[in-house]
Chain A
Amino acid sequence: MKKIEKAKLNDLLARLAEASTLYLPVRKGGKVNFAKWTKDEEYCADELKTVKSAKDVFFPQSENIVSFKRESSKITILPKELPTDRTVIFGVRACDAKSFDILDSVFMSEPADSFYTARRNSAVIITTACSTPEETCFCGVFGIDPANPGADIQTWFVGEELFWEALSEKGKALTEELSDMLSDADEKEVEDEKSRISEITKQLPLNGLSLENFGGDKTNELFDAAQWEKLSQSCIGCGTCTFVCPTCQCYDIRDYDTGNDIRRYRCWDSCMYSDFTMCAHGTNRPTQLQRFRQRFMHKLVYFPANNNGEFSCVGCGRCVSSCPISMNIAKVIKSFGGDNK
C-alpha cells in the first residue's frame, strides 16, 4: 500500500500526463465527463458518476475507421492507424471498471476488434473507491464492491491523502515509475474506509434487487411477458439510457461523402432508435415495445446466455438518473418480481 497527499495529486497527474495520455473526470459546460487532462483542467474527484461512462476511451462514440480516395480511376484505401500510445484512465469507479470486462468479452473475443484491442492493451486503469454511493447505485446486485474497485491500480481518498494499491503487473510497473512521489502506507485507514463504504452500500435502496428471474435460459419465459407493454408505454425512444450506459456496445457503420473522399465511420447505435439494425427488409423492430424489450432482454437474458451467465449491467445507475421519463432497468427487474427488499 502506497499513498500521496491530496495536495500533491496534481503533480502526480502531471507526471502521468507526460508519459501517457491521461483521461479523468473533468467539468466542461457544467457537467463532468471523462476527458483528456491538461494542467488547466481540474480533476473532479468528488463527482461520483460522470454523465457518460469511461467507455469512450476504448470505444469512442464515433470514429473514422477507414477512408477511400479516388484519383482518376485509382481508388486508394487509407486505413486508420491503430493507436499505440499509452493511456492512463484515472478516477474510474468500480462499476465502470467492471464494464471494461464486459466490453472485453464483446470486442476482444475472436475476431477481435483491432481498434478496441489496441486501445485496451495500451491502457492502465486506475480506479477510485466510491466514498459517497448514491441512491441510484446498485452495483452490489452484480457482485461489484465499490470499496474494492479493482483494475490495474485501486485508490481510496481518505482525509487529506490518496491511498494507492497496485494490483496487476501493469499497475505495479506504473507504480514503480511513480515511486519517488508515493510513500509507503499503513493499511489500517484504508480498511476503515472500506468498512465505512460497506455500511453505506447496505443501505442503498436498490441494492436488494434480485436477478433470480433473469438469466440465459429465460428467453421463452420473458419474451412475451405481459409486463413489457406497461413498462415501455411511456418510453420516448431516445437513446439516453444506451449512451450513458457503460456496457452498451452496439454500433453502426456508415460512409460519409466529404466530396473529397469517403470516410467510413462507426458510431454508437441505440436499440431504442427506429433504424437500429435496419436491413433491406425494413421490419427490424417496428414498435417501441420491441425496441425497449430488446435493451433489457440483451442485458439480462441474451448476454448471459452467450457469456457464461454474466449480466451486461453493472448497476451504475446512470440510466436511473438520466431517463427523461424515469423508466429504467431497476424498475424492469422489479416488475418481474426482482424486488428483494
Chain B
Amino acid sequence: MADLVVSAKEGLLCVPGDFYIDPWLPVERAVITHAHADHARAGHAHYLTAAPGAAVLKSRLGEISLEALPYGKKIVHNGVTISLHPAGHVLGSAQVRLEWHGEVWVVSGDYKLDPDGTCAPFEPVVCDAFITESTFGLPIYRWEAQQKIFDDIRHWWRRNAEEGRASVLFCYAFGKAQRLLNGIDSVVGPIICHGAVSELNRIYRESGVWLPPTLSVSDVSNKGDFSKALIIAPPAAAGSPWLRRFADYSDGFASGWMLLRGARRRRAVDRGFVLSDHADWPGLMRAIKATGATRVIVTHGHVDIMVRWLREIGLDASGFSTEYGTDEDDNVAMNEAVAFKESHA
C-alpha cells in the first residue's frame, strides 16, 4: 500500500485525504497540531484543530474558517478517518490519528510525556506508522522532574526577594509561561506578566486552566513592590526598555536548551532552568515504543541521528524534512532563531 502521509513542498500531505498536517505553505485544508507559529501558519482556506486549542489559534490567526474537534472524536474526510489525541505539549496540542483501509498513521506534532496542570496529558495511540518530532533527540537530553525545577525557581525567586532584587524569568509566552505559573504559584510575592503572556493567560483561564493571580506592570503603583516580584516575559523582551523599570534584577531562562552550559552562557542570563515542553530522549523512546509502530518517520530536530538509532534497534525508520523549527544538527542555533519567534522548547 502506498504511504498514507508523504512530505510535499507545502507540508505533510495525507494523500488519499487530500489535506495537510501543519503545512508551511497556504493550502486548501490544514489539520493543525497546535498553535505555535511554526506549526500553525496563516493563509489556509480551512483549518481543523483540537477543541481546547481553538481559542488560542483564533487569537493568533484572527478570522479563519475553523472546525474544532474534541479529543478522541472521529470524523471522516475523503474516506480517511481523522481523530485528534492529546500530545501534552501545550493547551490544545494534538497528535493526528489517520486511518485508511485498516492502516493507522499518527502524526505527533510536538509532544511531552509528563503531565502538567495546563493541558491534557499525552495519550499513546497505537498505530502502524508513527511520525515523531525529534527536537531533543540526543541521549544527553534527560529531564529532571518538573517539581524539582519549580522548587529551584521558587528558591531563586525567594533569595532574590530577600536581597531586594526583582526576578525576571524569560520563557515562551504560549505554553511554557502558563505551565510555570501553574507550577510555581505566587508563594513568594506578586507575579507580573508581560503583555504577550497576559493575553495567553486570559485564554488559558477561560479554558478552565487554573493560574495564580497575575498583574500587569500598570497594576503596580508602588515601584518598591517590584523587588519582591516574579516577572514573566518572553525572550524577545530581553534587553528591551520594558525591563528597565525593574532596576536591579536577576534574570533566568526556562527552556530545555538550558541543559547545556554553552547555551546557558550564550544566553547570558544569571540562571538557566531546564524545563521543556518536549519529550527528552527517554521520553521519545518510550513514546515510540508505546505506539507499537514498526515504521517510524522522524521530523524536526535530530533527524539523522534518531533514524540511525531506531534502525539499529530494529525499526523501519526514515526521516522527513520539514520547516518546523529547523532541521538536523543545529539545535542551539535553532534556539537562537526560535527564541525570538516564540515557539519551541
Q: Do A and B interact?
A: no
Query: A interface vs B, CB < 8 Å?
Result: none
